[in-house]
Structure 1
């Protein structure tokens, strides 16, 4: 297998210049204010009335007014942060390159580095909250970590068998199952919250970079070269959805009106008004986009141009 490269190919050129290592001390908001349009950001998440975004050099941005203004929080990490997940408005986890794992218990004002003894330094690419104190973090070369105490302690789980080493791009919860998407068409399902996994037939041999559950409960999986698939039967069969682009799809969200928005490299934005059965393209974004979130007055995306508002206008249909 090739040397690991973070799936957001177009977004990491600036982020990879970050220095290595994680400092052990706790750091909070500093006098330095990072301009939200001048930083590479790889994730954005809403928790209650708060927005959080994370990216290069361990920076985390926090907004309480739907992204109109942002506070910069310097975390203990020096490596690029790739994803965030929150249990509630106080308890959250941030993860990133070099097995970076951070924890907050005060709504993101301060973050503490969590040591991952004997787990190695492979990059973490995603994190999900599964209820109560249960978090799962995952990433390169089959790295899959689980915590049942709100992120204080983590253990590594083996997926399928000891030979599983595919990069894991996204884990989502749909109904009573977890679905795992990754490199080389990797597609797994768990009916017991990750205690055991079953490989599903994959419609695609390339890498998946993201997935989401539609308002009607269908699954969308997407990845390289604009490849997009939909399943209405919990991953047993898949239909390819035509999308007139070769740009990689990276992230997505459900809007308040039920529409689905997907984003990706080269400013790709795509909307669906029929539960993911078809998509229309929009070309209004700048740079590569990693993730998107709905806000009260529209949509915010993050990527190599920092935070930007997206137009909701659909300009091209398949």
Structure 2
């Protein structure tokens, strides 16, 4: 892949975090007038027996029957929500555009807005639960926020110094370490849960949009134009995993049967049966996909065409 300049990366990231428009109407099962296939959704997570999805205009969708029916929850936010993280079946955090931070303590029935001084209105792109009452939220221009009181209050932290301004797409907890994936080849590792960060040698200069840990403990980092890399040594070195695809990879999950599922633009689904050493590809859905979760008999993916059902042979719910 040709190396892209910083200005090109910023254009692509601007498109990623721009406000989203509603798609043409298709049949759905939302009980509140919101159609599950007519709303842009950027994250989906399983919380016990329930599924939660977050997306445009501050909406959060909840399903108690593995996605057969959805309830729309109108939160205090009016901007696109980009990420969800739950500590348990009661406590959860949602983040989004315009420095949006939301908190629930009743299993997602009601959400309250949490203000943070000094972060302006830049987008938050993700949130990660670190254990106990510890969460981190992160996003555009190096914003990195930490809460140690279950999301009641947040403080802004520096990453690699005050001049760090890379967009942060994902913070992944692996044992006692944190791994940060971001813009323009940003790969960082923290041995002390974010107090200090070290830059890892990036295998390419394009942006990373996510990462995950494989069942064996290896790491995957994925991003633009089908770029996918695997590390067996906690990020010290990376191996290219060739994919016959030139679209961005946006999200991924390890399924309960040990397979790894990655999703991306143009409805791309990539499945691995060998701990992320190789992947089989299909264009399994309409539009771009941002995240996937397994359900009995298959999987659900969310993206710019709402919730879509995918067929995963022998997959079981995670």
1:183 partnered with 2:179: no
What is the alpha-carbon distance in structure 2 between the residues aligned to residue 279 and residue 299 of structure 1? 17
What is the alpha-carbon distance in structure 2 between the residues aligned to residue 115 and residue 275 of structure 1? 41
How many residues align structurally? 302
> Normalising by structure 2, what TM-score?
0.91
SS of the equivalent of 1:278 reads coil
What is the alpha-carbon distance in structure 1 between the residues aligned to residue 38 and residue 216 of structure 2? 37
Number of the residue aligned with 1:22: none
Unaligned runs of 5+ in 2: 1-5, 24-29
Aligned-pair CA distance for 1:119: 2.0
Q: CA contact under 8 A between 1:254 and 1:294: conserved in structure 2?
A: no
Superposed CA deviations along residues 43-87 of structure 1, whole A, max 9, x for unmatched, are: 000111111000000000001111111100000001000000001
RMSD over aligned Cα, in angstroms?
2.1
SS of the equivalent of 1:98 reads coil
1:107 partnered with 2:113: no
Number of the residue aligned with 2:287: 287
Evaluate the alpha carbon distance shift between residue 297 and residue 61 of structure 1 in structure 2; reply closer, same or farther with a 3 A threshold.
same
Q: Which runs of 4+ in 1 moved over 2 A?
A: 1-17, 30-33
Number of the residue aligned with 1:23: none
Number of the residue aligned with 1:165: 165
Unaligned runs of 5+ in 1: 18-29
Q: How does 1:33-72 map to 2 (within 5 A)?
A: 33-72=33-72
Number of the residue aligned with 2:142: 142
Q: CA contact under 8 A between 1:11 and 1:303: conserved in structure 2?
A: no
What is the alpha-carbon distance in structure 2 between the residues aligned to residue 13 and residue 245 of structure 1? 26
SS of the equivalent of 2:111 reads strand
Aligned-pair CA distance for 1:33: 2.9
SS of the equivalent of 1:206 reads coil
Number of the residue aligned with 1:14: 20
What is the alpha-carbon distance in structure 2 between the residues aligned to residue 88 and residue 14 of structure 1? 30
Q: How does 1:20-31 map to 2 (within 5 A)?
A: none
